[in-house]
């Protein structure tokens, strides 16, 4: 078991994720847990994470000095390395004249196991304002960059390692090799842990949290809420009731599929709420995107709340929050509101329900793996992300039944074609947008005056940035033909070739 002590760094969860990828078990704890607790965990090694503070300032987060007496390998990353230098005899940390941020070339001159199989010059990712000025006793410098003399240090005797850069991020090209070396060459960890173990631990944790209490969940049809509900159901069976609010803004066939999968195949008590008219009424005449989001978000909460109130003694609410939601909603860093995602942060505080968030620390691909292990159907597990406000933000301007139908039909053709071309999993999102304008065309000698459909398909890792997908021409051809021929109101198809930034993925 690897213990990660968290100093509030942006990438702490990423360290855990990397370790999971190597099938090694890890736990993250706050930096200030007691030595007794650490001994209880009995880790094979400790990793000290990065963090936003400066060890040179009073009140900076520390760690129990006793960890250095446990006779286990310790790796300090960024802040973790500086803390190590400061706490160990002889080390000095000070504010660097120039911070170092972004890519840097690491020049390795020693390192033995930790840098095994790595070129002596390799790109790393830096993000620090302080640096280690003087090494603690027993340490040697093992690598440098142009700006940082001690970019890595080691005490090979005690197996203490300090890395000023971040091995856990992709921009450190050999970062995975370094972590692999640490785990398997130095710690000699066992690669025996897997997602099934994760599920079992989660199930234990859910049972401990809720006891005999009643739990509700909201299903949206998306992979996160589906996997969260499935795992909670596995843990506590019929103590869980799911509520599925059909706001009428879903894609073709989605509502049916949710009801079939959860209600019939998984046998989860499921309340289906047909709120389609209600949402349409509220949205009538509204064209401003944020206004739409607000209405949908508020209405969703109202409907959900009404249904939840009918159930008695509910104490817990399942949320499919995943780690990127936590980051994106400013959980770990400050960020400007570009769009107010309504399903992040979710339901109102006054519901007074305690949250159950079994996926809180997982990344999207890990959530999918768990979904597969739990036996959820491929269409749900591999579903592309879909915004909470649904098709309402893919219809530019007013939303009404007729437009929803046009968009749904065009979108279904796109989904089908992308799947048939074998690209569905590879592409981050592919969908149709219906703008608020019409143009002239000609069909069978007749003038037409109809809507265009905008085809949007993007590649992305995390939705923060995205690039338009280079779809094969034949595929675009066939999408265009089918939409124009099969969706009566549409006479033109255009392709959006804008990346994010400067565009966003959705049009609203």
CB atoms within 10 A of CB 282: 18
In the bound complex, what is the minimum distance in angstroms from residue 411's beta carbon to ligand XMP? Answer: 13
In the bound complex, what is the minimum distance in angstroms from residue 337's beta carbon to ligand XMP? Answer: 11
Total residues at interface with ligand XMP (CB under 6 A):
16
DSSP 338-370: SS--TTSS-S-GGG--EEE-TTTT--HHHHHHH
Distance in angstroms (rounded) separating the CA atoms of residues 286 and 284: 6
Helix then strand then coil, % of the chain, to nearest 5: 35, 25, 40
On whether 220 is known to bind a ligand per the annotation, the reply is yes
The reply to whether 417 belongs to the active site is no
Distance in angstroms (rounded) separating the CA atoms of residues 393 and 506: 7
Q: Does residue 90 bind ligand XMP (CB under 6 A)?
A: no
Task: For residue 398, give every residue at least 6 positions away whose Cβ sits within 8 Å of its Cβ, in sequence order, or none.
Answer: 283, 284, 285, 286, 287, 436
In this complex, which beta carbon is closest to ligand XMP, that of residue 6 or of residue 325?
325
**Cα–Cα separations (whole angstroms), residue 83 to 88, 279, 327, 397, 471:** 8, 54, 25, 54, 49
Q: Does residue 259 bind ligand XMP (CB under 6 A)?
A: no
In this complex, which beta carbon is closest to ligand XMP, that of residue 290 or of residue 309?
290
Distance in angstroms (rounded) separating the CA atoms of residues 49 and 162: 11
Phi, psi (degrees; rounded to nearest 5) at 194: -150, 180
Residue 102 carries which DSSP code? E
Q: Is 189 helix (H, G, I), strand (E, B) or coil?
A: coil
Q: Which of residues 406-435 bind ligand XMP (CB under 6 A)?
A: 429
In the bound complex, what is the minimum distance in angstroms from residue 345's beta carbon to ligand XMP? Answer: 11
Q: Which of 20, 31, 293, 408 binds ligand XMP (CB under 6 A)?
A: 293
Distance in angstroms (rounded) separating the CA atoms of residues 180 and 188: 10
Q: Contact 284/400 with Cβ under 8 angstroms? A: yes
Distance in angstroms (rounded) separating the CA atoms of residues 246 and 243: 10
Residue 186 carries which DSSP code? I
In this complex, which beta carbon is closest to ligand XMP, that of residue 264 or of residue 461?
461
Task: For residue 408, give every residue at least 6 positions away whose Cβ sits within 8 Å of its Cβ, in sequence order, or none.
Answer: 251, 252, 391
Q: Which of 91, 136, 389, 452 binds ligand XMP (CB under 6 A)?
A: 389
In the bound complex, what is the minimum distance in angstroms from residue 428's beta carbon to ligand XMP? Answer: 7
Q: Does residue 289 bind ligand XMP (CB under 6 A)?
A: no
Q: Is 48 helix (H, G, I), strand (E, B) or coil?
A: strand
The reply to whether 168 belongs to the active site is yes
Q: Does residue 463 bind ligand XMP (CB under 6 A)?
A: yes
Q: Does residue 394 bind ligand XMP (CB under 6 A)?
A: no
Q: Which of 128, 131, 234, 342 binds ligand XMP (CB under 6 A)?
A: 342
Structure token pair of residue 84: 């190590």
DSSP 214-271: EEEEEE-SSHHHHHHHHHHHHHHGGGEEEEEEE-S-SPTTHHHHHIIIIIIIS---EE
Given 31, 128, 131, 168, the catalytic residue: 168
Stretch that binds ligand XMP, among 210-218, 270-278, 418-426, 497-505 (CB under 6 A): 497-505
Q: Does residue 286 bind ligand XMP (CB under 6 A)?
A: no
Q: Does residue 294 bind ligand XMP (CB under 6 A)?
A: no
Q: Does residue 339 bind ligand XMP (CB under 6 A)?
A: yes
Given 31, 128, 131, 166, the catalytic residue: 166
Q: Does residue 403 bind ligand XMP (CB under 6 A)?
A: no
Q: Which of 387, 404, 424, 432 binds ligand XMP (CB under 6 A)?
A: 387
In this complex, which beta carbon is closest to ligand XMP, that of residue 144 or of residue 343?
343
In this complex, which beta carbon is closest to ligand XMP, that of residue 31 or of residue 394?
394
In the bound complex, what is the minimum distance in angstroms from residue 431's beta carbon to ligand XMP? Answer: 8
Q: Does residue 371 bind ligand XMP (CB under 6 A)?
A: no
Q: Which of 113, 305, 489, 506 binds ligand XMP (CB under 6 A)?
A: 506
Distance in angstroms (rounded) separating the CA atoms of residues 215 and 503: 40
Q: Which residues are annotated as a binding site?
A: 220-226
Report the catalytic residues. 78, 166, 168
- Contacts with ligand XMP, residue ranges (CB under 6 A): 293, 338-339, 341-343, 385, 387-389, 429, 463, 500, 504-506
Q: Which residues are annotated as a binding site for ATP?
A: 220-226
């Amino acid at each position: 078991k690897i213990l990660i002590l968290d100093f509030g760094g942006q990438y702490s969860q990423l360290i855990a994720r990397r370790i999971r990828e190597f099938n090694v078990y890890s736990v993250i704890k706050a930096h200030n847990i007691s030595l007794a607790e650490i001994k209880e965990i009995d880790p094979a090694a400790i990793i000290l994470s990065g963090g936003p503070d400066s060890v040179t300032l009073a009140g900076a987060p520390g760690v129990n000095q006793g960890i250095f007496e446990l006779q286990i390998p310790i790796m300090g990353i960024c802040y973790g390395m500086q803390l190590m230098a400061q706490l160990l005899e002889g080390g000095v940390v000070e504010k660097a004249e120039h911070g170092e941020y972004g890519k840097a070339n690491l020049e390795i001159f020693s390192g033995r196991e930790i840098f095994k199989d790595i070129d002596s010059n390799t790109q790393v990712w830096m993000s620090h304002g302080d640096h280690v000025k003087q090494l603690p006793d027993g340490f040697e410098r093992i690598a440098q960059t142009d700006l940082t003399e001690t970019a890595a240090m080691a005490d090979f005797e005690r197996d203490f390692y300090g890395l000023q850069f971040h091995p856990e991020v992709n921009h450190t090209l050999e970062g995975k090799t370094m972590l692999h070396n640490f785990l398997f060459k130095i710690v000699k960890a066992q690669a025996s842990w897997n997602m099934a173990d994760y599920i079992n631990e989660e199930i234990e944790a859910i049972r401990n949290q809720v006891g005999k209490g009643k739990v509700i969940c909201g299903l949206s049809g998306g992979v996160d809420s589906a996997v969260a509900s499935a795992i909670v159901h596995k843990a506590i069976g019929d103590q869980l009731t799911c509520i599925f609010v059909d706001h009428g803004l879903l894609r073709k066939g989605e509502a049916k599929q949710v009801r079939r999968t959860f209600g019939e195949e998984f046998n989860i008590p499921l309340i289906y709420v047909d709120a389609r008219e209600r949402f349409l009424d509220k949205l009538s005449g509204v064209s401003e995107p944020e206004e739409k989001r607000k209405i949908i978000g508020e209405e969703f909460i109202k409907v959900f709340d009404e249904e939840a109130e009918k159930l008695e003694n509910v104490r817990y609410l399942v949320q499919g929050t995943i780690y990127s939601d936590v980051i994106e909603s400013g959980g770990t860093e400050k960020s400007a509101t570009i769009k107010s995602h309504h399903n992040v942060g979710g339901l109102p505080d006054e519901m007074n329900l305690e949250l159950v968030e079994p996926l809180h620390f997982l990344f999207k691909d890990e959530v999918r793996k768990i979904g597969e292990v739990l036996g959820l159907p491929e269409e749900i597990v591999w579903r592309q992300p879909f915004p909470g406000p649904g098709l309402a933000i893919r219809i530019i301007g007013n939303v009404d039944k007729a437009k929803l139908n046009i968009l749904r039909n065009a979108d279904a053709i796109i989904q089908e074609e992308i799947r048939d071309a074998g690209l569905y999993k590879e592409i981050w999102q592919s969908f149709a947008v219906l703008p608020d304008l019409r143009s002239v065309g000609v069909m069978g000698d007749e003038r037409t005056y109809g809507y265009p459909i905008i085809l949007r398909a993007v590649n992305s890792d995390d939705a923060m940035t995205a690039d338009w997908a280079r779809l094969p021409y034949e595929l675009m051809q066939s999408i265009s033909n089918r939409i124009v021929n099969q969706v009566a109101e549409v006479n033109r198809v255009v392709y959006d070739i804008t990346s994010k930034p400067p565009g966003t993925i959705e049009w609203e």
